[in-house]
Structure 1
Amino acid sequence: MRTKMILRSTITCPHCGTAATETMPTDACQFFYDCTGCGALLRPKSGDCCVFCSYGDVACPPIQKNGTADCCAVVPAPGRHHA
């Protein structure tokens, strides 16, 4: 049985606790997120593929689909924002 992909996740900032519900991209991982509360630039925790896997309440679509995030194996250097 195939489960429905969840495309919305609530990101909670580890710095100020602000929570915001965002739509996740389905074709790429999101490496950076600007907190809507304090403005902190969030990056994935070590071992996570994206900010949704680190700070969201729902894992990103590649993880939901495959259990792995092969599309996100390389995290770009700071200053080179990719969505």
Structure 2
Amino acid sequence: MDCRLGCGACCIAPSITSPIPGMPNGKPAGVRCAQLNDDNLCKIFGQPERPDVCAEFTANIDVCGTTNEQALWLITDLESSTC
């Protein structure tokens, strides 16, 4: 499965504990990443400063569902079950 351009759920729903440019302490769950632009695209995609956890994310129907809204719900649910 390919990522849906403009979805951004993986940049909003999960917490990220590693530093991100503009967010030196990472980000809490449910907070937009500082590197997510107005079109929900990563401004540092493919750049070395992009956190490894982001670069290693693979779109999957179980995580992303079939819509952007479903992806946000699924990732939020996964995040809450791992806290």
User: TM-score when scaled to structure 2?
Assistant: 0.30
More helix by proportion, 1 or 2?
A: 2
Q: Between Structure 1 and Structure 2, whose CA radius of gyration is higher?
A: 1
Question: TM-score normalised to the size of structure 1?
Answer: 0.30
More strand by share: 1
Tell me: higher relative CO, structure 1 or 2? Use CA pairs within 8 A at least 6 residues apart.
2
